[in-house]
Structure 1
Amino acid sequence: MQASYGHREAGCVFCALEDSGRVLLDNEGHSLVIPRRHGADGLELHQAEWNAVVEVLKLRREQLSAQDASISGWAGLLNARGGLNSGEAAGQTVFHPHWLLIPRREGDSEEPRGGVRGVIPGHQAC
């Protein structure tokens, strides 16, 4: 298992971030958490990697909450599409595990049902 942690996939946009110094990216509090080891999706992660992802998500939530008292909720996605999309037939477009953590604020959407899809134009669930 330990040896697999160094796996990177040529041509993978997320694997290419390895030497960029950016493990956590954010824009207006929107954060993207990407495990370093390449895999097709989150189901390929080892338990220790899942645990590390959860710890980073919790830490980021704490950081953002401390910086911005207007945050009143959180939305997030597995694999940036909602739920868990594993495979092209399921709608997966980036074949590397990743999670979005998006702060939500009271009134930032007329209808917050549907989670993060409500804050990304054109993605509101029908």
Structure 2
Amino acid sequence: MKDFTTISDDRILYKGNYFFIIEDGFPVSPGHLLIISNEVRKDFFELNEEEKNNLPKMIEKAKELILAKYQPDAYNIGMNCGVDAGQTVFHFHCHIIPRYTGDMENPRGGVRHVIPTKGSY
């Protein structure tokens, strides 16, 4: 998939002026959501000012949607910007990943572990 323009309307949980929210097709935890830009933008750095200003509101909306069905203990919020960061779909999307006590043996460092040997401190 090169972008999210073919997402069917029945997958959309919420649609705003700049973004829409869907369940991740390959969730890493129950309730894993994606916030996707309505306009195709390659990554966060291509969002315009209005989009960047609206993103925190959409993160809060995603949390609200998650809490309607799940009871997570924490969250990871992340974006992959570029091939070397792991981006595979070049249409802005932000992962909202609910975390649950015990889902990892030692979650300390969180997203720092995207480079496994460098995450510990």
User: How many pairs does the alignment contain?
Assistant: 103
- Change beyond 3 A, Cα 1:101–1:91: closer
Which of 1 and 2 has greater Rg?
1
Q: CA RMSD in A?
A: 2.6
| Segments ≥4 residues shifted beyond 6 Å | none
The two structures have a TM-score, normalised by structure 2, of 0.68
What is the match of residue 15 of structure 1?
A: 5
Distance 1:65 1:43 in 2: 29
Secondary structure of the residue that 2:99 maps to in structure 1? strand
Distance 1:54 1:34 in 2: 13
Matches within 5 A, 1:74-85: 74-79=75-80, 85=81
Question: What percentage of aligned pairs have identical amino acids?
Answer: 33
**How far does residue 94 in structure 1 lie from its aligned partner after superposition?**
2.1
* Residues 35-57 of structure 1: CA deviation (Å, up to 9, x unaligned): 01112211111121122222111
Distance 2:85 2:105 in 1: 29
Which one-letter code corresponds to 1:24 in the other structure?
I
The two structures have a TM-score, normalised by structure 1, of 0.66
Task: List alignment gaps of at least 5 residues for structure 2.
Answer: 13-19
Residue 96 of structure 2, aligned match among 92, 101, 108: 101
Distance 1:30 1:117 in 2: 19
What is the match of residue 58 of structure 2?
A: 56
